[in-house]
Amino acid sequence: MFYRDQLFIDGQWSAPDSGDAIDVISPHSQEVIGRAALATAADVDRAVRAARSAFDEGPWPGMQPADRVAAINRLAELYKERRGDMAALITAEIGAPISFAKRAQVGIPQLMFAAFAGLASGYDWQESRPGLYGNDIRINKQPVGVVAAVVPWNMPQFLTVCKIVPALLAGCCVVLKPAPESILDAQLLADIVAQADLPQGVFNVVPGERAVGESLVSHPGVDKVSFTGSTAAGRQVAVACAQGLKQVSLELGGKSAAIVLDDADPAKVAGAIQSASLANSGQVCNALSRILVPADRQDEFVEALAAGMESMTVGDPTDPATQVGPLVAQRQQYRVRGYIETGLAEGARMVVGGAEMPDGLDRGWYVRPTLFDHADNTMRIAREEIFGPVLTVIPYTDEEEAVAIANDSDYGLAGSVFTADTDRGVAVADRIRTGTFGVNQGYTMDPFAPFGGVKASGYGRELGREGIDGYTGTKSIAVAGEKA
């Protein structure tokens, strides 16, 4: 049992405003594995005031960038020491296979510390340029202020590090709101931050349900909101930020297309789709869930995809051999099963999978990896974000139609093209309206490349230099030049 009855606010663990707590339930065993305190609106207010004081009166924003980089490097070393514990917690609380948790949920965030520190070291915090009227124009990049970082449960450490590390490097102070499903890893992160000896109030954690997020996003002491979550929730966040004239970045849902061109190899495509579409049981915002294949080769690609999906090991997420674990919660299991039933009702053909429990499992919130074909882009399974291990194959007649189908979506987060001709793939990538795109791979979130979406997938960018830009404000100072 993991138990924590306190909140990390203003640099220390302290009692919450109320005795509200949540049981953390294993998605695999359906047993209670932990219990943790939840924040209230009063706790949110206390955390924001602590961050506000740290920003307005503390040393962190005024430090030299190199000193903040050094502090983040110390934090990174402490994080590295606890990566095994962190991966185990994530597997326990959300059911991510331990191999995936070690590699992507924790391993990549660990690399991001160093990547962001390097970007901050080479960042142009100050610039000078000549003005039209003879003035010396000095451009300063300054921290935007107090940041509310709201992260979902599916990739908790990955998404948390994407937000808090560039924000801290920019000189901001942060209030993190983790999801209740992934509360344990956020608490471990707070323990690590406490050991890193950052100034008091620079980092605070207020776990809770939706009401806590609403209190945080609407708090007048918050200057910037960085939100990752559903499109429906993102719209509400955008409205709240507009009312408070806060800066906001939104990384929302996706229904990304994999465009398989007529010269692609079925076996290679099937292998790439396994990792790009079914990682974390398909609970990834940029998963490739629409597979567009040439109609005259549809059977070849469907056969390869089906064989690959049937070969995947589904089961206990603590087993290193497991490739597909349970979904995070029973509500998610019901939701995904509902989409499988919808696909059948719409007339799509279920090639593999189904709503039944996987073989050998009698408990846990599992869904079989499921593949549909004989589908078209008007079906709900092709248009709505399912957030589970369900893929839909859609045939096309030529490249023009493939591009049109890929673009015919409310979302625009990611996508990929598979082809034997890289130049042809890049040309297709240029025509797809998404924020990110991969050629012969599922889109990989590289720490040096900006990530984000368009349309209903949100706006703003994380990662790369742009990931630091989002936490800075630009001030220009005009200094009168000497008269002739």
> In a structure prediction context, what are the per-residue pLDDT tens digits for the chain, which is 484 residues long?
789 999 999 999 999 999 889 999 999 999 999 999 999 999 999 999 999 999 999 999 999 999 999 999 999 999 999 999 999 999 999 999 999 999 999 999 999 999 999 999 999 999 999 999 889 999 999 999 999 999 999 999 999 999 999 999 999 999 999 999 999 999 999 999 999 989 999 999 999 999 999 999 999 999 999 999 999 999 999 999 999 999 999 999 999 999 999 999 999 999 999 999 999 999 999 999 999 999 999 999 999 999 999 999 999 999 999 999 999 999 999 999 999 999 999 999 999 999 999 999 999 999 999 999 999 999 999 999 999 999 999 999 999 999 999 999 999 999 999 999 999 999 999 999 999 999 998 888 899 999 999 999 999 999 999 999 999 999 999 999 765 4
- Residue 141 shares a structural domain with residue 59: yes
Task: Mark whether 285 is an active-site residue.
Answer: yes
Per-residue model confidence (pLDDT) at position 444? 82
Q: Is residue 246 assigned to a domain?
A: yes
Instruction: Specify the amino acid at residue 348.
Output: A
CATH no. for residue 417?
Answer: 3.40.309.10
93 near 182, Cβ under 8 Å?
yes
Q: Is residue 453 assigned to a domain?
A: no
Return the closest-CA partner of residue 11 out of 175, 251, 219. Answer: 175
- Residue 344 shares a structural domain with residue 260: yes
Domain count within the chain: 2
Strand, coil or helix: 265: coil
Element (H, E) at 225: strand 224-228
Q: Single out the catalytic residue among 93, 181, 251, 385.
A: 251
Per-residue model confidence (pLDDT) at position 1? 77
Task: Mark whether 251 is an active-site residue.
Answer: yes
- Residue 197 shares a structural domain with residue 265: no
- Residue 113 shares a structural domain with residue 14: yes
Strand, coil or helix: 342: helix
Q: Which domain holds residue 412?
A: 256-446
Per-residue model confidence (pLDDT) at position 134? 86
- Residue 292 shares a structural domain with residue 248: no
Per-residue model confidence (pLDDT) at position 483? 53
Per-residue model confidence (pLDDT) at position 484? 44
Integer CA distances (angstroms), 341 to 288, 306, 347, 353, 435, in order: 20, 19, 10, 12, 31
Per-residue model confidence (pLDDT) at position 209? 93
Record the tokens describing residue 5, joined without a space: 């009855």
**Sheet with strand 2-4: strands edge to edge:** 2-4, 32-37, 21-25
- Residue 247 shares a structural domain with residue 264: no
Q: Can you give the pTM of this predicted structure? A: 0.96
Q: Single out the catalytic residue among 162, 172, 241, 285.
A: 285
Per-residue model confidence (pLDDT) at position 442? 82
- Residue 307 shares a structural domain with residue 191: no
